[in-house]
Each structure stands twice: as C-alpha cells, then as structure tokens.
Structure 1
Amino acid sequence: MAVTLKDVALRAGVSIRTVSNVVNNYPYVTPEMRERVKKALEELHYQPNLSARYLRKGSSGIIAYAIPDLSNVYFSEIGEAILSTARERSYTVLIDSTKGRESERQVLQGLTPHLIDGVILSPFASEPEDLAPRAGSIPIVLLGDRIYDVPYDHVTYDNVATARMATQHLIGLGRRRIAAIGVQESDAHETATSRLRLRGYTEALTRAGLPVDPHLIIRGLPLFNRGNGAKALRQLLALDTPPDGVFCFNDHLALGVMRAIHEAGYRVPEDIAVVGFDDIEDSRYSVPSLTTISPDKEKIGYLATTFLLGRIDGTRTGPPERVEVPCHLIVRESTVGTR
C-alpha cells in the first residue's frame, strides 16, 4: 500500500499541510520542522504521486528536447544538463531526433499540450513561419546559432567570434594554407551555423592578410560526421598544394580528418594542424588529442531548461531573451604537439 501524506504526518507528529509544504519545497516551514518531516519521509520511503500533482496543475510534467541528430555527441552532452536540471524539478524529458524541417514542424504542432508542457528545440531547417506562435501553443526555448524573429527565449553563442578564434590560432602557429570543412549549401541563411562559422574563418584570414582560397573550403556536407570529415580531407590532399591547417566545424569532422591524415602518411600537427568545434569527450581522448572550441554545454542545458520551466510555471514573465554563453579555445596536441 502506498504511503500517504497522512502517514508521514503521523510519523513526524505534524499536520498534513506541513508535510505538503515540505514535499513541495515551500518556504513556510521552520528548519527544525522541515528536518522532522524529511526524516519521516525517508523512513517511510514516501514517493510523491506526480500524476495527481500534475493533474491538479493542469500539466503533464513532461518536456521535450528536439535535436537534429541524436548521433552527435554534442547534443547528448547538452541533453545531460537538461535531464539533470529537469529532474531536480520533477520533470521528465522526451528526446526526439528531427533531422529536418518537416519533423521539426511535427514536434511543434503534433506534440499537444496534453502530452508535453514545453519544448527545447535546436532547429536545423525550420523557417520563421514554422516557429510562429499559434493559439494554444506551448512554451518553446530555442538552442543554436540561427537567429529567428520569434518571441521565444534563445540560448546560443557567438559563432563568428569563435570561428575567428580557431582560425587565428592556426595562423598564429605559422599555418598559411588553412582549410575550412563544414559549409552546408542547404544553409542559405546568413544566420545559419555553417555560414556564421565561415564568416569568422574568412575574417581571420583577411585580417592576417591571407587569401581566401575557395579550393580550401569544403562545401555540401550533408552531415557533420567522421566519415564526411575523412572524405573532405582526402579531397584536400588531392590539391596541388594541400593545406597545412584545417578548421573543422565540429569535432566529429575533425576526428575523421585526423584519421585520414594518418592513413595518407602525414602527421598531426607537424604536417597538418587540426582544430575542431564542440569539445566533445572524444576530443580529449583521441590520439593526438584535439584542439577545439569549447562552448559551456552545461550552462546551455541549464539555462534552456530553467527558462522553459519558468515559462511553464509562470515565474518567467518578462520579454524573451537571447543569451550567449561563453566559449573557449582548448589547445591540445592536434595543433601544438606533445609538450
């Protein structure tokens, strides 16, 4: 038989209302009384009836995390922070891999308020009209780099500045033929991720007085994965003068690039230095370890979840915000060797 608030109240010698205040983390309880109730909760192994609680509130207690590619570890690492933050508030997180515009639209329109209370969305191909608020729509928080003129909180970072930072690092090491891998031709929007990173790359070359060689810019990759990174590097090695540095638009591409460099008989970083983006766990343990741009993924997940739950419970009532989290260049063996 399930333990009730009345059972806990009898064990602690307090009222049912006091137990309820402690369970719901309300501030109207003295520290001494709170400890008595917590001890009784632990002794009786009390489990709150979340279904009843959410029914009373008119919500489901579930939020969605919609991402374009579940195999990309970057999204998984942000997801860990989202799950942790949601769990502290007794929310469950559904994860959906969208892979494109139609699926993103289905997430926003098909998951009704009866199923979920809100969505954290990392859009890959959505247009502004897809994200436009509709009658009865649920709260949404956006992740990622493309800027939409829609009334939602948005957690992002400065892609132009970070790409410029990565390219300047290679230039500072004396590299002069620096390739860029990751421009997606389908990303026609100037505010899309690959376009912003390309802008930072070209700005760094121009400021250093280096030419922007179109042959060193690999375009049209459908996915940012290891296989496409290796394929792109082999294309670059076929040039009359191969690159001596490579900036990859994510770490998966960079890991594939380093493997292809090794297979071709070249050395990293002596012959070709490599920089990635995202600082996924693999980058710290690859051989050589990967120099990369590191966004604060834990903060991204925490802010996105906190913003969304604030919109759901009504404690976040101000205008939508676009918040940029910090990014840092993590220098490892793929650019400076073993020191």
Structure 2
Amino acid sequence: MAASVKDVAARAGVSPKTVSNVVHNRPKVAPETRLRVQAAMAELGYQPNLTARSLRSGRTGLLTLAIPNIAAPYFAELAHLVIEAAAARDYTVLIEETEGLRAREVDVLNGVPPRLSDGTVISPLALNADDVRDFAPRGPIVLLGERIGDGPADHVAVDNEAVARDATAHVVGLGRRRVAAVGYQDDPLAGTSQLRYRGFCTALRDAGLEVPAPVAVDTYEWSDGAAAVDALLQRETVPDALVCFNDELAIGAMRRLSELGYSVPGDVAVIGIDDIPEARHMIPSLSTVAPDKGVLAATVVDRLLERIDGAAEGPRDVVIPHRLVVRESTRGRRPLAVTAAPAAGERA
C-alpha cells in the first residue's frame, strides 16, 4: 500500500500540514524540519498524488520549462532561476530539453502526457506561428525569446538588436575599426541571430564603418567560435575586434586566438553576450552584455501564473533590461611599436 501524507508525518514527527508545505516547497518550513520530512518521504517511498490534487484544485502545481539545451551555461543558469522563482510561488518546474527540434517542441506544447502541468514556458527554435496558435486554446503558454508571428502567447525577451548594437558600439568606442561578427546564422527562423546581426550592422554603419561579410555558424557552442576565428583569419583584412553573439562563441574564439599566438585584447578585442558564470573567470575575463536573468525568470513565471489564473488580457510583449559589463577582454590594447631615434654616431 502506498504511503500517505499521514504516514510521512508520523515518521517525521510533524503535522500533515508541515508535510504538505514540504511537498509544495513552501518557504515557511525550517531547514532541519524540511530535511527530516524529505528523509521520511524517501524512506517510505512517498509520491505526491498529483491526480487527487488536480481533482481538488483543478491544478497540478507543476509548470513546464522547455529549453533547447540544458547543458548550455545560459540555459542551465536560467532554468535554476526559473525553478527558484516558481518555488517562491509554490510551484514545481518540470524541465524538458528539446534540442531545438520542432517535433519535440510541438510535443512539449501538446503535453507528454497531456495536461501534466498547468502551463508552459518554452524557448523555441523551430516552432512556427501556427504551432503556437493551435496550442494556445489548450493551455497557458509564455514564449521565452523571439516572438513567433502575431499569435496569442505572451512573449518575454531581451532586446536582442539593442544588445548587439551596444556590444558593437563598445568596441568601436575603443578605437577598433575592423570589427567582425561571430554568430550569424543564415536561417530566417534563427530570430536571435538575425536580430543581433541587425544590431551589429547598425552600430557599424552609425560609426561610418564597413560591415564585413559575415561568417556563418551552425550552433552557438565553443567549437563554432573557434571555427569562425579560423575563417576570419584567412581574410585579407584581419579583424581587430570580435562581437560574439553569445559568451560560448566568445570563449571558443578567445581560446583559438590564444592558440594561434594572438593577444586578447592587444591584437583582437572580444566581447560576448549573456554574462554566463564562466565569463568572469576566463583569462582574460570576458566583456559581455548581461540581460537581467533574475528579472527574466521572475517575469516569465509571473506572466504564466497570470495566464493560469485567468487574470491576463491579450498577449503581451515584455522587454527585459540589459547592461554592458566591461572586463579584461576589451580593456586597453597593446601600444604601437615605437622605433627609437639612433644615438649620435650610430647608423639608422
């Protein structure tokens, strides 16, 4: 026979209400009590009865967060923050990894199994407007990232065009004139890449600088940053600054530059986007543009809960603030070599 809340309460020496508070991850439980209840749950093999809870309240107390790659530093940090934000509101988060594949993104929207959670936050790479429109009547949804068409879902994102424009303006302001982008993707569905490239181009044109032909990347991983450096260094005009469309690309690019004997920032200044934890621990530390990920996580959870409660009216777009973080990879540059004048009696 399955263990009940009363069984767990008796084993832990607490009230059934305290067990309920632990199950719902409410903050009002003392840490030592929470550990004792969790130990009792593990010993008894207790599993919350989500079906009964759903029948009583019409809700499961679960939210789904669907992201392309849980191993990517940006998404790993964001998932952690979403879990924290949901726990503060008495919700538990289920993580789904889609790998950016449309079939898996559609499965998440449809629910596997259906109606397992009360609502979904999804960071889509392959969904189209019809997918979102078809799903919307079946459950609350918030899009994390670029808007997909003019559908009915709420949309929360950083201003990707402004982010790249600010990153580019920063290196231009340092006197860099041969600025290249790392992160361009020649795919109309790659909304983040397209917007960041537009911001990059705008900043160069505003400064009266030439926009070099882009080097396309397949993904936003370390290896793609290194490969882009190899391609850029084959050009007649070698860049003196790289604007990378995420920090992973930037770190991969810096590693490859170092392997080839280039100094960062002496020969090439490098800036990324996202401010992942690794950025501040690199040598040199990586300059980047940081979206306010705490605000981002709290906002997507709040917007989704408003949808679940029926308190939201119409789709809304929310833009999250960002800031420039200047570190060693764009600070200063190696001074130009100066040839001393020959001393008297010496030949030049």
What TM-score results when the alignment is normalised by the length of structure 2?
Answer: 0.80
Pick closer, same or farther for the CA change 1:134–1:332 going to 2, 3 Å. Answer: closer
Q: 1:84-99 residue pairs with structure 2 within 5 A?
A: 84-98=84-98, 99=100
Deviations 1:187-215 (A, max 9, x none): x15x811111111111111111111121x
Pick closer, same or farther for the CA change 1:276–1:180 going to 2, 3 Å. Answer: same
Indicate the larger mover: 59-68 or 175-184.
59-68
Residue in 2 that maps onto 1:166: 167
- In the alignment, the residues of structure 2 paired with residue 211 and residue 79 of structure 1 have an alpha-carbon distance, to the nearest angstrom, of 39
Residue in 2 that maps onto 1:61: 61
- In the alignment, the residues of structure 1 paired with residue 275 and residue 127 of structure 2 have an alpha-carbon distance, to the nearest angstrom, of 26
Residue in 2 that maps onto 1:313: 309
Q: CA deviation at 1:113?
A: 4.4
Q: CA deviation at 1:261?
A: 0.5
- In the alignment, the residues of structure 2 paired with residue 306 and residue 106 of structure 1 have an alpha-carbon distance, to the nearest angstrom, of 24
| Secondary structure of the corresponding residue to residue 141 of structure 1 | strand
1:209 aligns with 2:208: yes
| Secondary structure of the corresponding residue to residue 132 of structure 1 | helix
Q: CA deviation at 1:302?
A: 0.8
| Secondary structure of the corresponding residue to residue 64 of structure 1 | strand
- Do the aligned residues in 2 keep the contact of 1:291 with 1:332 (CA within 8 Å)? yes
User: In the alignment, residue 312 of structure 2 is paired with which amino acid?
Assistant: T
Name structure 2 gaps, 5 residues minimum.
22-27, 42-46, 334-348
User: In the alignment, residue 274 of structure 2 is paired with which amino acid?
Assistant: D
- Do the aligned residues in 2 keep the contact of 1:269 with 1:337 (CA within 8 Å)? yes
1:326 aligns with 2:327: no
Identity %: 42
RMSD: 3.1
- Higher RCO (CA 8 Å, separation ≥ 6 residues): 1
Q: 1:54-133 residue pairs with structure 2 within 5 A?
A: 54-98=54-98, 99-111=100-112, 113-133=114-134
Residue in 1 that maps onto 2:145: 144
- In the alignment, the residues of structure 2 paired with residue 156 and residue 168 of structure 1 have an alpha-carbon distance, to the nearest angstrom, of 21
Deviations 1:136-195 (A, max 9, x none): 511100011244311111111211111111101111101000000111112x15x81111
Pairing partner for 1:218 from 215, 219, 228: 215
Pick closer, same or farther for the CA change 1:54–1:284 going to 2, 3 Å. Answer: same
- In the alignment, the residues of structure 2 paired with residue 225 and residue 183 of structure 1 have an alpha-carbon distance, to the nearest angstrom, of 13
| Secondary structure of the corresponding residue to residue 95 of structure 1 | strand
Residue in 2 that maps onto 1:176: 177
- In the alignment, the residues of structure 1 paired with residue 5 and residue 141 of structure 2 have an alpha-carbon distance, to the nearest angstrom, of 36
Pick closer, same or farther for the CA change 1:101–1:114 going to 2, 3 Å. Answer: closer
User: In the alignment, residue 53 of structure 1 is paired with which amino acid?
Assistant: R
| Secondary structure of the corresponding residue to residue 162 of structure 1 | helix
- Do the aligned residues in 1 keep the contact of 2:142 with 2:303 (CA within 8 Å)? yes
